[in-house]
Structure 1
Amino acid sequence: MLGYILKRILFMIPTLFAISVVSFILIQLPPGDFVTTLAAQMSQQGDTIDPATLAQLRAAYGLDQPVWVQYWIWITKILFAGDFGRSFDWDAPVSDLLWNRLGLTFVLSFTALVVTWMIALPVGIYSAVRKYSIGDYAATFFAFVGLAVPNFLLALILMYLALRFWGVSVDGLFSAQYVDAPWSWEKAADLAQHLIVPVFVLAASHIASLVRIMRANLLDELFKPFVVTARAKGLSEWRLIFKYPVRAALNPFVSTIGWTLPELVSGATVTAIVLNLPTTGPLLLRALVAQDVYLAGAMILMLSVLTVIGTLISDLLLAWLDPRIRYG
């Protein structure tokens, strides 16, 4: 196992290098650059910028250099100085912009993940063990509803209901008086109250999906020979279920860690925009639209690193959880 881990870590290095190159090139594929986008925005407002000023701006931002030169400057600063560059759009260090939103994004996404697992796992087990019961039909109905309703639509419905019947605005993560206030118990309590709606919205579709996956996988395991043998030896039913078939059916849950880690950082972009959440998702979208290459490149690189690490963790947990899986 140790040799497998070391080999996977070594393979991560060229993988991440290739991802960084492809990401940086893809960001610059759309016609124009940040200066072009800035000029177009000013033109819509009735202002104009002369060509000489545009050329000066490109030189100041380093956009007049070839793509490979821009990439080399960017990646060497990251590797040797830990400097992700400066955002053109925000005129601020990329690191500061990321850290300002990363904490709240992680809290929101991690809370949604915990809620998802706490609900989906027991409901999926019950739905499989008591198949075709009233509870199973109810779980199936709500699962299909959760899969059918888009997150952003659910967010809009909850915002309307909260404002219509309770006169409460549920957008954002803080009340107006706590947005710029220093951290305190009152601000933490206000954050906890505002987390309820976005956590419910983010968890709804994931719960629906994982309930169906858990039910299907557990039904495949419940009647296999090793379960029948354990039952014949007199093992109690619920102990048997949790010790053997549930453990085998958990593989899909564990295998999702590969894309769960980047989700903890990126969050749901569309839902975050609808609910006006100060997370990293809208920040990445704005960077891509404005062709803010250093900010967008840093975020995509960070998500790629988390995906590769999450995949490694997922593979190792699968080998530990399921004795049928072995790596040479």
Structure 2
Amino acid sequence: MFLGYIIRRLLYMVVTLWIISVLTFIIIELPPGDFVTTYINRLIQSGRGPADREAYAAQLRRLYGLDQPEFMRYLRWIERMFFYGDFGQSLAWNRPVKDLILERLPITLSIAILSVIFIYLVSIPIGIYSATHQYSISDFFFSGISFLGMSVPQFLLALILMFLAYKYFNLNIGSVFSPKYATAPWSIGKFLDMVKHLWIPIVIVAISSTASVIRVLRGCLLDELRKQYVITARAKGVPEKKLLWKYPVRIALNPVVSTIGWDIPWVISSESIVGIVLNLPTLGPLLLQSLMSQDMYLGGTIVLLLAGMT
């Protein structure tokens, strides 16, 4: 029974990824022109346009296989990906897609994983404290911060924190390493330098979900603390800490645990936006560049990867 459920879910995942791949291919190919058109237009804008544009464009299309029908190009991309593990060659970077993704995937995953950890390490204690100190000054403070975190757009928060980090902490957030550690081998110093740069994108990515979890946990715990079994246990002299952790907190955490299912996709998608704003070496800016240049193999692979991760 359980094995059958797992098999069905895997089949659903395969079908979903296939549908996403089709839609991604269609959307990237939908604008007029192709990668060659975009590339030649950039050459013309920079004053390096070819003398015979049509002949040069036809030559590039034959070189990159863009002269074939869209259906054949899609089948070739899917066949190489699923049967040979070959994600194709990036047209814009002239490098294997796999190499470009592997360079940026560790930082992307680090930000996503640390953001999820940050969400629950911060939100659970604050949510419990706010519920047990209802209408106190600290409760109003945390509630205000929560509403602010849910309402301020991430790109605006990213710009504000980037300015403050540069002005008061002398941190350049356009990279995850200081210049002296950029090409250095891994060491404790390089790791600490990375952590020093990563805390800003982690806070930006996690702030909205953290605020949401605080409000959910606070509301659920307040409901539990008003129930009859808590009032009865308190009347019988059960110590407050034991009473709090025995049942109310455990029950109130159930809705919080269920939010992990949508927090992870939210964190991954948010990381892409924050990476673009802060110009971090993550998958987000790479995806934007590939879409702008109509680099189908790179953009489509990143979209499929992000869809599989979420």
What is residue 313 of structure 1 aligned with on the other side? Answer: none
Residue 308 of structure 2 is matched in structure 1 by 305
Q: Which residue of 2 aligns with 1:117?
A: 120
Q: How high is the TM-score relative to the length of structure 1?
A: 0.84
8 A contact 2:64–2:91 mirrored in 1: yes
Measure, in 2, the Cα distance between the counterparts of 1:153 and 1:11.
Answer: 37
Question: Alpha-carbon deviation of 1:132?
Answer: 1.7
Which whole-Å CA distance do the structure 2 matches of 1:149 and 1:131 have between them?
A: 25
Residue 90 of structure 2 corresponds to 87
User: In the alignment, what sits opposite 2:143?
Assistant: 140
> Is the aligned partner of 1:102 residue 2:105?
yes
Distance 1:103 1:166, change over 3 A: closer
Q: Secondary structure at the match of 2:82?
A: helix
- Indicate if the aligned counterparts of 1:158 and 1:197 stay in contact, CA closer than 8 A: yes
Contact 2:87 2:297 in 1 (8 A): yes
Residue aligning to 1:173: 176
- For residue 55 of structure 1, give the secondary structure of its aligned residue in structure 2: helix
The CA deviation at 1:232 is 6.9
Does the Cα contact within 8 Å between 2:111 and 2:198 map onto a contact in 1?
A: yes
Q: Counterpart in 2 of 1:286?
A: 289
Q: Structure 1's 271 and 16: CA in aligned 2 closer, same or farther, altered over 3 A?
A: closer
**Of the candidates 123, 128, 131, which is equivalent to residue 128 of structure 1?**
131
CA contact (8 A) 2:290 2:296 kept: yes
Q: 2:188 — aligned with what?
A: 185
- Which residue identity does 1:26 align to in structure 2? I
Residue 11 of structure 1 aligns with which residue?
12
Judge which range, 4-13 or 237-246, deviates more. 237-246
User: What is the percent sequence identity of the aligned residues?
Assistant: 49
How far 1:294 moved relative to its partner?
0.6
Which sections of structure 1, spanning at least 5 residues, go unmatched?
308-328
Q: Deviations over 1:172-207 (max 9, x none)?
A: 210112112222222112112112222222222222
In structure 2, do the counterparts of structure 1 residues 140 and 55 end up closer, same or farther at CA, with 3 Å as the change threshold? same
Aligned to 2:161: 158
Q: Does structure 1 retain, via aligned residues, the 8 Å contact 2:43–2:49?
A: yes
1:230/1:90 Cα in 2 relative to 1: closer, same or farther (>3 Å)?
A: farther
Length-normalised TM-score, structure 2: 0.88
Corresponding position of 1:69: 72
Q: Which runs of 5+ in 2 are unaligned?
A: none
Contact 1:102 1:265 in 2 (8 A): no
| CA contact 1:84–1:298 (8 Å) conserved in 2 | yes
Give the letter for the 1:34 counterpart. Answer: F
- How many positions carry a matched residue from both structures? 307
2: CA distance, partners of 1:230 / 1:12: 47
- The worse-fitting range, judged by mean Cα deviation, of 220-229 and 28-37 is 220-229
CA distance in 1, matches of 2:10, 2:162: 45
User: Which residue matches 1:319?
Assistant: none
- Is the contact made by 2:154 and 2:274 (CA closer than 8 Å) also made in structure 1? yes
Distance across 1 between alignment mates of 2:254 and 2:299:
33
Q: Secondary structure at the match of 1:278?
A: coil
1:237-263, CA deviations, whole angstroms, 9 ceiling, x for partnerless residues? 444444434334334433343344456
- The 3 A distance-change label for structure 1 pair 120 and 46 is same
